[in-house]
Amino acid sequence: MRLGLFDSGVGGLTVLKSIKEHKLFDEIIYYGDTARVPYGTKDKNTIIRYALEAVEFLKNFEVDMIVAACNSVSAYAIEEIREHINLPVLGVIEPGVKALLKRDAKPKDHILILGTTATIQSQKYERLLHANGFLNITALATPLFVPLVEEGIFEGEILDSTMRHYFKDIKDPDFIILGCTHFPLLKDSLQDYFPNSILIHSGEAIVEHLQSNFDITKSSNSPTLKLFASSDPDGLKRVAKLWLS
Amino acid sequence: MRLGLFDSGVGGLTVLKSIKEHKLFDEIIYYGDTARVPYGTKDKNTIIRYALEAVEFLKNFEVDMIVAACNSVSAYAIEEIREHINLPVLGVIEPGVKALLKRDAKPKDHILILGTTATIQSQKYERLLHANGFLNITALATPLFVPLVEEGIFEGEILDSTMRHYFKDIKDPDFIILGCTHFPLLKDSLQDYFPNSILIHSGEAIVEHLQSNFDITKSSNSPTLKLFASSDPDGLKRVAKLWLS
């Protein structure tokens, strides 16, 4: 089976990494829209337009399934993509909430959702969590985490002061949803800041979701990867080499 | 006279502000490519493509002159724009260097150039400064300043730690070229960090250049402004209201 995976840029490689490590699919086509990254600071109509263009690109490769490895796309464009193409289409938000349930989160647990401005404004995580009975939810836009990750800053003084800035009013969440595919790269620093919280990672969530809901043959080898980018494809390949190793 | 001014996003509004305050032009058409911001982390060919699309948009308004109020565009695409359109086309880099000369910078003065990754990699400032006899130049990419400005963070702990990160090896420059149109919004913090340095601002530089080289009637009123954006035009107008006041 062939999977088409896309993101605004390099962030979705964290999802690719999880799928690859679990040896799901024979081939994965990754498309990063690096010419227009980030999506998370842009408006809904723009995000939908870009998502449909990414899907058009992936159609060229006759993929069997599409994963939008981007929370901002998952927040705004999943229905539009499903109307546009006759294939299974997965976002990362529903799997993230399911992963939380699987970890025995209780209704009164404090859930902190971190995401881009677009993802948080969509309130999609909150609606899904409310629908599943959660009562104690904090949704926080942390857009500066995206350029920090893109700059390769995963720890240190700038990240610490950025965390203090965003988290000054946040007390000890039980669970933290990393609601942006860039954020798993900050997980050690986030875990240091909130040592008692359980972090939910979109990549792991989507692997659990794929394994539970789809009949995907686990192959003995890692899937073949094909990486594409709308700007500077060599840059994407360099980051992939670093992150996927 | 009607001026067409464009930038990757909101940063060029700092240039618009200077031109408006000096009451140059009767009308200014501003285009911010907010759907694809930032340009400064993207590659040369992508920046050229986006710049030509912005110019195509401005042609609709029968402008008399074009200013690329973006250092990344000025670094890579000015010649391409000049080949594309039969109008005076100005970037911000040459005027910035001329403004430095006008302030009696000496060959041995230490010049610090701050810019996006794209602008610094182009080495365009350095080449121009070398051609003008300067010998002591430091060029530094400070891409995190862009999202900080877009987040409205102009001072405080995050900016201070980001400045310490970038400036740890920099000693007391005589002049600092703010080689990105976002950076004038950080000028108070930069001046606090380097109290003895003279800051060169693209907006002021372009006003000096326009007044010295073109016969532009100074009107008694501020120019009429028309603001356009490729994503979330209301967002651009909100920022403009805040910054231009």
Token code pair at residue A31:
């498309």
CB A94, CB A67: distance < 8 Å: no
DSSP string over A184-197: GGGHHHHHHHSTTP
For A113-137, how does the pLDDT look when each residue is reduced to its tens digit (9 = 90+)? 999 999 999 999 999 999 999 999 9
Give the pLDDT band of residue A150 (cuts 50, 70, 90). confident
Phi, psi of B54 (to 5 degrees): -65, -40
Please give the pLDDT value at position B139.
Answer: 98
Model pLDDT, residue A8: 95
CA of B172: how far to CAs of B9, B167, B168, B193, in Å? 31, 10, 11, 9
User: CB–CB of B160 and A164 under 8 A?
Assistant: no
Q: Is B238 helix (H, G, I), strand (E, B) or coil?
A: helix
Whether B136 has its CB under 8 Å from any CB of chain A: the answer is no
Task: Judge whether residue A84 has pLDDT over 80.
Answer: yes
pLDDT at B216: 83
Q: Distance, in angstroms, between B167 CA and closest chain A CA?
A: 13
A25-69 confidence digits (pLDDT tens) = 999 999 999 999 999 999 999 999 999 999 999 999 999 999 999
pLDDT over threshold 80, residue B217: no
Catalytic residue among A73, A180, A200, A207: A180
CA distance B64 to chain A (A): 29
Find chain B residues with C-beta within 8 A of A150's C-beta.
41
Per-residue b/e over A63-93, b at no fewer than 16 CB within 10 Å? bbbbbbbbbbbbbbbbebbeebbebebbbbb
Residue whose C-alpha is closest to residue B159's, from B134, B185, B141: B185
pLDDT higher than threshold 90 for residue B190:
yes
Q: Does B138 touch chain A (CB under 8 A)?
A: no
Are the CB atoms for B87 and B64 separated by under 8 Å? yes
**A162 and B164 in contact by Cβ < 8 A?**
no
- Averaged pLDDT, A72-92: 97
pLDDT at B173: 98
Nearest residue to B141 (alpha-carbon basis) of B123, B117, B176, B160: B117
| Contact: A146, B146; criterion CB under 8 Å | no
Query: Which entry of A19, A28, A70, A78 is annotated as an active-site residue?
Result: A70
Out of B143, B151, B153, closest to residue A151 by CB: B143
pLDDT digits (tens, 9 = 90+) for B12-34: 999 999 999 999 999 999 999 99
**Domain-wise residue ranges, chain B:** 2-91+204-244, 93-202
Instruction: Reply yes or no on whether the pLDDT at B81 is more than 80.
Output: yes
pLDDT at A218 over 80: no
Q: Taking a C-beta distance cutoff of 8 angstroms, is the pair B1, B65 a contact?
A: yes
B chain contacts of residue A230, beta-carbon cutoff 8 Å: 46
Report the topology of domain A93-201.
Rossmann fold (3.40.50)
Question: Are both A2-91+204-244 and A93-201 of the same fold?
Answer: yes
CA distance B238 to B54: 21
Strand partners, B3: B28, B65
State how far Cα B67 lies from the chain centre: 10
If one looks up domain B93-202 in CATH, what number appears? 3.40.50.1860
DSSP label of A26: S
- Helices B124-131 and B93-102: angle between axes, nearest 10 degrees: 40
What's the pLDDT tens digit per position in B126-174?
999 999 999 999 999 999 999 999 889 999 999 999 999 999 999 999 9
pLDDT grade, residue B220 (50/70/90)?
confident
Q: What is the pLDDT of residue B148?
A: 95
Say if residues A193 and A163 touch (Cβ distance below 8 Å). Answer: yes
For chain B, what percent of residues have pLDDT higher than 70? 100
Tens digits of per-residue pLDDT, A162-174?
999 999 999 999 9
Q: With an 8 Å Cβ cutoff, are B43 and A160 in contact?
A: no
* Shortest Cα–Cα distance, A160 to chain B (Å): 9
CB atoms near residue B32 (< 10 Å): 30
- Residue A219 is predicted with a pLDDT of 77
Position B111 pLDDT exceeds 80 = yes
Assign a CATH topology to domain B2-91+204-244.
Rossmann fold (3.40.50)
Q: Is the pLDDT at A216 greater than 90, yes or no?
A: no
Q: How confident is the model at residue B218 (pLDDT cuts 50, 70, 90)?
A: confident
- What is the SS3 assignment for A89? strand
Output the CA–CA distances (angstroms, integers) from residue A192 to A146, A158, A172, A207, B97, in the order listed: 19, 15, 12, 25, 46
What is the reported pLDDT for A138?
Answer: 98
Instruction: Label the pairing between strands A89-90 and B198-201.
Output: unpaired
Quote the pLDDT of residue B179.
97
Contact between B94 and B128 (Cβ < 8 Å) = yes
Please check the confidence at residue A70 and state whether its pLDDT lies above 80.
yes
Q: Which of B81, B180, B200, B240 is catalytic?
A: B180
| Three-class DSSP category at A176 | strand
Please tell me the predicted confidence (pLDDT) of residue A245: 81
- What do you get for the CA distance between the two ends of chain A, in Å? 23
Mean pLDDT of A77-93: 97
Nearest CA in chain B to A147: B144
Q: Tell if the CB–CB gap between A161 and B164 is shorter than 8 Å.
A: no
On the question of pLDDT at A215 being above 90, the answer is no
Report the amino acid identity of residue A43: D
